[in-house]
Structure 1
């Protein structure tokens, strides 16, 4: 049995996949301490893990951001990396000092573990960086993370990628890079030493990306430590109640499922309202999740729409014909696991990267905005319903997910890192 610390920033979309990892670790006989914000103590204890709280400065999630593009990357580095890193590292170091620890598994925005990974291996536990977002690893083959640009093909695209990477690392995020370098030196005595801030997982013993290779851009310069395990969503907790209108899903009308997730759902006029308007006169059944907000907060529902505060995706997705989303990574994988084609409209946080991969992988249509018009949504849904290539693409990724090793494969790799 290994003693493991699982680390997550205090955000629903970060805690949820890491809880999936924790449950599997416990099921395999390992001891798990789970380090995150106090708001998730009940969920952590329900998983069977021991709860360890993050302290001041790292215990609560920053407010959802409306910025886009490079500005969003810069703001994300500040809010998710610079501000919480000292509190993360202090809490993690305290937990390691309190009891022997064999392995630390941390989602990639938990940069307190990134600071730990810069220390000599003999003085720290093994570190596994868990990719709960589209891969942030910089590469000569890809545009910088956050721009939402597909890699492109041929020498011109490679020149573009190299130029954009240089610009982001040396101009756009230069000050952020210096701040993180100084912060890591203050915490551990070891700085970035030329490593780009979003590349800290390269120092970890293992990079566990929670997708399949078919849904991630190829990188000829990827580290050997990078592995694809598929999503953790197949291990998500059950128990979400079915709404009273559940039997309506079994009608002959195609089911169109729309949600803005549980984070970017303060303003339903961004995606849910235009989707309801777009499809009100279509021969479909529109299903809406309010992302744990009250149903009463939703816009008025047309006759062909049904809604719930939260829905059991694992039960719902097999009944869905088209998934309309702002691009949360977990939701995209739920859809593809079930071969459901996607209309994606997201332009904040990491969502442009997920949206770009939807189009690149041929699993759906990227509307390239976070506030699409009803006409754009209607045209995209009609196109997907009339063109089987998108469903074929999603089923292809779904087959790769079904064949992926999952969290058990990750645990196998973790156990190889343990002292013999």
Structure 2
């Protein structure tokens, strides 16, 4: 039995994939301790892992970001807001995250520490001592890999100096560009995608591996709505969502999609991914279009096999869920890593990048109709779905864990 610590940034998009990993390792008989946000305690324990809460100074509720980080809401989406995120959402928790890991390791001599790629407090663990004197460190790429050099136009240069000082405060030195360190510092970096969805690069270290996306989380009890049979009535099915993070304002993408397709021959399913989402749609729109089927929560692994296109703001998990089922995309997102993901959708030929989170009606209607009427988008999405089957992320992780336990 291997002993594993899993550390996750306290946001749904980071916790969900690591919970899938935790559940698989528990199923294989390993002891798993999960270090994460307090609100995820029940979900962690439900998969059979032991839960340890992050210190308060490293925890926050990603459903209320403007309340947790008041300054963030005053910044425009894009480069300025992204610079804030790098420094304060992912950077500031480093000392508390690292201390929490050290304390856990003092009680639990883990063979492996697995973290999401933006849990920066795991980097000092690798930097403070070499392999063989500490657990094997594994970083899981739940977002696109960072660029090779420079902050680029999307992040402020002062974030580099800011992070350097934070790491110096815990006694380690970043070995160069901070974002590159996310890949080069851990013993293993596992990107949850396939080569066909990533820009070609020749600068990646030998520790970098594509392992493919994780399987969808098992669907719990789900009562199919009365309209479910309409998914198979021959109409094109358009699914729209803003994911679980940037879904405060449904008028960015969800409501416009329902509106511009109201007179189309498509069935439009809106996955609001939040409690009371249907009532919110009704309050905004008044009369819900006759071809619209809004829902608070709906499992994608059940819905997407019926979809002809997904209109989304571009979360990494949601995009890969669509591609797993060979569903092409229309993507519009400008916060967090969403522009990077949208660019990969366009580059891979699996969909259209709207270039904005608030497209005008004509652009949105045109993009959806183009994807529906152009077979190449579907064909490319199906090619990636086939490529996915050649990878097994959970098996790759289990092999690393087993190897680390033997060495330990």
TM-score normalised per structure 1: 0.89
1:144 Cα deviation after fit: 5.2
Indicate yes or no: 2:204 matched with 1:222.
yes
CA distance in 1, matches of 2:88, 2:38: 18
Structure 2, unpaired ranges of 5+? 67-71
CA distance in 1, matches of 2:198, 2:17: 18
Indicate yes or no: 2:264 matched with 1:254.
no
Indicate yes or no: 2:142 matched with 1:125.
no
1:79 Cα deviation after fit: 2.7
Aligned to 2:329: 342
Aligned to 2:69: none
- Which deviates more from structure 2 when the two are superposed, residues 115-124 or residues 336-345? 115-124
Alignment of 1:346-365 (within 5 A): 346-365=333-352
1:248 Cα deviation after fit: 1.7
CA distance in 2, matches of 1:332, 1:211: 11
Alignment of 1:69-80 (within 5 A): 69-80=78-89
Aligned to 2:178: 196
Aligned to 1:56: 56
Indicate yes or no: 2:313 matched with 1:326.
yes
User: Could you say what the CA RMSD is over the residues aligned between the two structures, in angstroms?
Assistant: 1.7
- Which deviates more from structure 2 when the two are superposed, residues 123-132 or residues 55-64? 55-64
Aligned residue pairs total 391
CA distance in 2, matches of 1:399, 1:204: 30
Alignment of 1:2-401 (within 5 A): 2-61=2-61, 63=65, 67-121=76-130, 122-136=132-146, 138-139=147-148, 147=154, 172-173=156-157, 175-187=158-170, 189-232=171-214, 234-239=215-220, 241=222, 242-294=224-276, 295-298=278-281, 299-300=284-285, 301-401=288-388
Aligned to 1:162: none
1:399 Cα deviation after fit: 0.7
Contact 2:87 2:162 (C-alpha < 8 Å) held by counterparts: no
Which SS does the other structure have where 1:112 is aligned? helix
- Which deviates more from structure 2 when the two are superposed, residues 327-336 or residues 75-84? 75-84
- Which deviates more from structure 2 when the two are superposed, residues 262-271 or residues 119-128? 119-128
Contact 2:111 2:136 (C-alpha < 8 Å) held by counterparts: yes
Which SS does the other structure have where 1:183 is aligned? helix
1:131-188 deviations in Å (ceiling 9; x for gaps): 000112x326xx85784xxxxxxxxxxxxxxxxxxxx6xxx32x3222222221221x
Indicate yes or no: 2:397 matched with 1:410.
yes
Aligned to 1:160: none
CA distance in 1, matches of 2:190, 2:152: 18
1:175-224 deviations in Å (ceiling 9; x for gaps): 3222222221221x211132434523311110010111111112101010
TM-score normalised per structure 2: 0.92
Contact 1:146 1:350 (C-alpha < 8 Å) held by counterparts: no
Which SS does the other structure have where 1:267 is aligned? coil
Which SS does the other structure have where 1:32 is aligned? strand
1:67-86 deviations in Å (ceiling 9; x for gaps): 43322331121233222112
Which SS does the other structure have where 2:165 is aligned? helix
1:3 Cα deviation after fit: 0.5
CA distance in 1, matches of 2:136, 2:90: 21
Contact 1:259 1:324 (C-alpha < 8 Å) held by counterparts: yes
Which SS does the other structure have where 1:403 is aligned? coil
1:241-282 deviations in Å (ceiling 9; x for gaps): 132321121111111000011111111110011111110000
